[in-house]
Structure 1
């Protein structure tokens, strides 16, 4: 599909005509997004300068294998794509999944409704239906499933889908409510069957689910939208005695990820989930969110969890700039410390310091780099598309998305967040292995990975108000390049 190439021609055609940089025998392709207006622009000319930051790549130092990067298929996003014209719908999907786009490889969707649904709904609406004879995914047939199928047609390499429930049907819970409460013991078998039926129903639609999280945010959300509570011990008991055995007996080869909430309580969950072989045998890993802090990616916690279970997965399953109405067609806003989040508005005084005002581009790039450098294998954004209000959703939980649309005017805005995520998803492929590096200036953040084809991609974040000269070395080869002030840059070394 060439529609996306047409859309990008205004600001990316120069990239296609750009030259590969070759100095001192090291050939590189350099792409930059910056506050000065670059949007994945291919850079081929660099100003000469002194005091270059030395970067030495160490490909013999190998760490985790990367699963992928991407965003989420929510009812809100899928609904909006149905409200705009086909041309813009195709442009957006091609931007995310096409060969010239961000090439998303790891995605997420919700089981039953969530805060980014238009209403509350469940696939099992009939109370007391223990055998789930009335189970149906008809709620997804008009929006989420068509969006996924269209993305599948565009994606040359395919993508994985991680599915998460926000809550069981209220009739299975001790408070009979969409919000809060716990699963009643007499419905544990039925809730495990629910997951199995969901996987089968989607498979019958031609969609394979790669992984499940047991519960989105099991610690709750102050009853602001759909939720269901678990302690670590309760989740281990449900997975080890009900969910794991049921999925296995029904022949589902699928990943099960535990926790699925903020990193500040991750250690406690790792201690319980990975206590011994019995507690951990059905868990393939841990899902995490970033909402505990706007600036701290919590490397010690990530390292602790990896050390606790080196062979288990860690997937960042949700992130967004929340509690903020989108800034329509205002690139500059995303490079300023003007954003707020739920913590800035609602956090208790003793946690306010964790929720400073922040530059949205920095928050995303810093967290992805920090996660990758501390054993995380996949990173998934929240909604792919929202409107100019930050919705629509029944909970009025306004957030930002990388792509914003005005359905009434059939207008589309690709925010700087879209390009920030693409710096990783487009150039670090599934199956890539993170490699070591040395960098002489700690004011720059970076990560590096070697792709399955042998090419190397490194992503560099410069949060300073000045540009930086850099000398990049791989073995005895090197090249002199430069990163702009307030910029994120991907450097690709061909195989």
Structure 2
């Protein structure tokens, strides 16, 4: 059996994940939105971006000799003796869900691949986050050596020991962009995989993503109708020439799968969830090629009946979801609009240039949203970072500069929340990776290293946080550590430090208002530090 850590094919067209997006408000009288410094990209412009897909977050082969190792779940791959397994089973029976953090149950796929296994009766968890007392800090660490968001604590010191180590100095008075949050995408494929588990295992998976015992995602991206990560091509109105959209209907994938999962995730989360929707394709009869699949643009020109109908399709989508008590923070105009110019013929897509998307927003989608009851924002681009700044420059020609600068936000939204062992289902066979891999035949799911890496951000950086100044004493072109500092709305500070290299890196943290932390970033590790100044 191949390991569940699938090759990341993020360069493939129509991947749908981790896109750059820039947000503009609906053009509403008196609606100014939230003021924020320009961040520029929604793939989390944290200066630098700490990339969540790192192959080194793995450990050597499992020997089963350590008495603290939890048993393998799902009846395969374990080397622990019967006494150890019995002890763990007895422990699991006595520990309720909210009793505290549970360790990872590891499964090893060769030398360099470890995942944490969850099923209906057991899943690793985190304690609810509690801010440390002033003068102390907490640290969470994940590493190739096997740690998964492992918590420890310590105290600030008044002075640092002299030495050549790296020094990171915070400057809380230098405030940068506001952060919207972190999350993933509830595609048809993700919903199918989650619902393919037993009810208890489903709950464990959703808790892992959205609850206080998990990594607390607050963003969810939803495809409007099909994406390539569906089991079939479809739209919400496949009746030709229905310009009034009288035959518009949500699909079973929405009503029976995604909407119930959204309600369950929301009920588990202590943070408000922000949803945004992205279309892959219009109905075929609105496209130049007459098919939801393949290269094509909207028929006609902006402002005509085709574009007005497509804009009203967005409103119908928002209307129908609202009937199920689901509202959307934003919509993107189109998933990967430029990739659609090159896409293979089987992909669902619509192509837009920056100018065409600008004109569609100004003449059709923006006015349609302004007339609707939905206070939903519009996100442009929804494509690769390499298209910036050109795309934003073109769109800004129709918006006053002050309005644009006051409506940038920053965040990271990953692609599918869960996929199967093949990296699907995907009806065009565009298989990719995911933080969670589901094996429904055994009623288990694997939490991959990238799940915990993303958690080093999503768990500790809530919506409304702001990046702050962080000075590094490193003067080389390439420094061993990557890092970012954030001020939370509750005034606590977060520092994330990444060591991509195969050797330890001693360093010190200085907060002039508190003192020093002398610490080490182990080889191939990521750490999150949390403290408050008073």
Scaled by the length of structure 2, the TM-score of the pair is 0.71
CA apart distance, 1:8: 3.4
Give yes or no for the alignment of 1:143 onto 2:180: no
1:80-121 superposed Cα distances (whole Å, 9 cap, x missing partner): 111111111100100000112111112211001001111111
CA apart distance, 1:71: 0.6
Counterpart Cα distance in 2 of 1:460 and 1:226: 39
Give yes or no for the alignment of 1:380 onto 2:413: yes
8 Å CA contact retained: 1:16, 1:42: no
1:422-446 superposed Cα distances (whole Å, 9 cap, x missing partner): 0000000101111001122332111
8 Å CA contact retained: 1:4, 1:101: no
Q: Structure 1 residue aligned with 2:440, among 407, 421, 425?
A: 407
* Distance change in 2, residues 1:481/1:415 (3 Å): same
Give yes or no for the alignment of 1:489 onto 2:527: yes
Q: What residue is the counterpart of 1:419 in the other structure?
A: 452
417-426 vs 467-476, which moves further: 467-476
Give yes or no for the alignment of 1:166 onto 2:204: no
Give yes or no for the alignment of 1:214 onto 2:214: no
Runs of 4+ in 1 over 6 A off after TM superposition: 4-7, 11-15, 17-22
CA apart distance, 1:479: 1.8
Q: Structure 1 residue aligned with 2:137, among 5, 10, 28?
A: 28
Counterpart Cα distance in 2 of 1:126 and 1:20: 56
CA apart distance, 1:397: 0.9
Give yes or no for the alignment of 1:61 onto 2:155: no
Counterpart Cα distance in 1 of 2:131 and 2:251: 50
Greater fraction of residues in helix:
1
What is the SS of the residue equivalent to 1:181? coil
CA apart distance, 1:420: 0.4
Counterpart Cα distance in 2 of 1:449 and 1:465: 27
1:189-232 superposed Cα distances (whole Å, 9 cap, x missing partner): 11111101111111111111000110001111523411101111
Counterpart Cα distance in 1 of 2:142 and 2:311: 45
8 Å CA contact retained: 1:15, 1:43: no
Q: What residue is the counterpart of 1:184 in the other structure?
A: 299
Gaps of 5+ in 1: 285-308, 315-376
8 Å CA contact retained: 1:447, 1:460: yes
Counterpart Cα distance in 1 of 2:131 and 2:283: 55
Q: Structure 2 residue aligned with 1:310, among 405, 417, 437?
A: 405
Give yes or no for the alignment of 1:470 onto 2:507: yes
CA apart distance, 1:149: 1.1
8 Å CA contact retained: 1:67, 1:430: yes
Q: Structure 2 residue aligned with 1:440, among 459, 469, 473?
A: 473
Please tell me whether Structure 1 or Structure 2 has the larger radius of gyration of its CA atoms.
Answer: 2
Counterpart Cα distance in 2 of 1:148 and 1:207: 8
Gaps of 5+ in 2: 1-94, 106-122, 156-160
Give the alignment's Cα RMSD to 1 decimal.
2.7
Give yes or no for the alignment of 1:75 onto 2:188: yes
CA apart distance, 1:277: 2.5
8 Å CA contact retained: 2:131, 2:531: no
Q: What residue is the counterpart of 2:227 in the other structure?
A: 114
* Distance change in 2, residues 1:2/1:141 (3 Å): farther
1-10 vs 249-258, which moves further: 1-10
8 Å CA contact retained: 2:466, 2:486: yes
Counterpart Cα distance in 2 of 1:14 and 1:479: 27
Scaled by the length of structure 1, the TM-score of the pair is 0.76
Give yes or no for the alignment of 1:234 onto 2:356: yes
Counterpart Cα distance in 1 of 2:171 and 2:225: 45
* Distance change in 2, residues 1:88/1:40 (3 Å): same
Q: What are the residue-to-residue correspondences of 1:449-460 with 2, within 5 Å?
A: 449-460=486-497
8 Å CA contact retained: 1:18, 1:43: no
Q: Structure 1 residue aligned with 2:165, among 47, 52, 55?
A: 52
8 Å CA contact retained: 1:4, 1:94: no
CA apart distance, 1:20: 9.5
Counterpart Cα distance in 2 of 1:17 and 1:133: 47
Counterpart Cα distance in 2 of 1:7 and 1:200: 41
CA apart distance, 1:19: 12
8 Å CA contact retained: 1:214, 1:259: yes
Counterpart Cα distance in 1 of 2:96 and 2:447: 18
Q: Structure 1 residue aligned with 2:210, among 97, 115, 140?
A: 97
8 Å CA contact retained: 1:4, 1:91: no
Q: What residue is the counterpart of 1:294 in the other structure?
A: none
Q: What residue is the counterpart of 1:360 in the other structure?
A: none
Q: Structure 1 residue aligned with 2:463, among 430, 433, 441?
A: 430
CA apart distance, 1:15: 7.4
What is the SS of the residue equivalent to 2:289? coil
Q: What residue is the counterpart of 1:272 in the other structure?
A: 394
Give yes or no for the alignment of 1:42 onto 2:151: yes
Counterpart Cα distance in 2 of 1:431 and 1:55: 23
Counterpart Cα distance in 2 of 1:10 and 1:421: 16
Counterpart Cα distance in 2 of 1:160 and 1:16: 24
What is the SS of the residue equivalent to 2:204? helix
Counterpart Cα distance in 2 of 1:18 and 1:85: 28
Q: Structure 2 residue aligned with 1:389, among 403, 422, 429?
A: 422
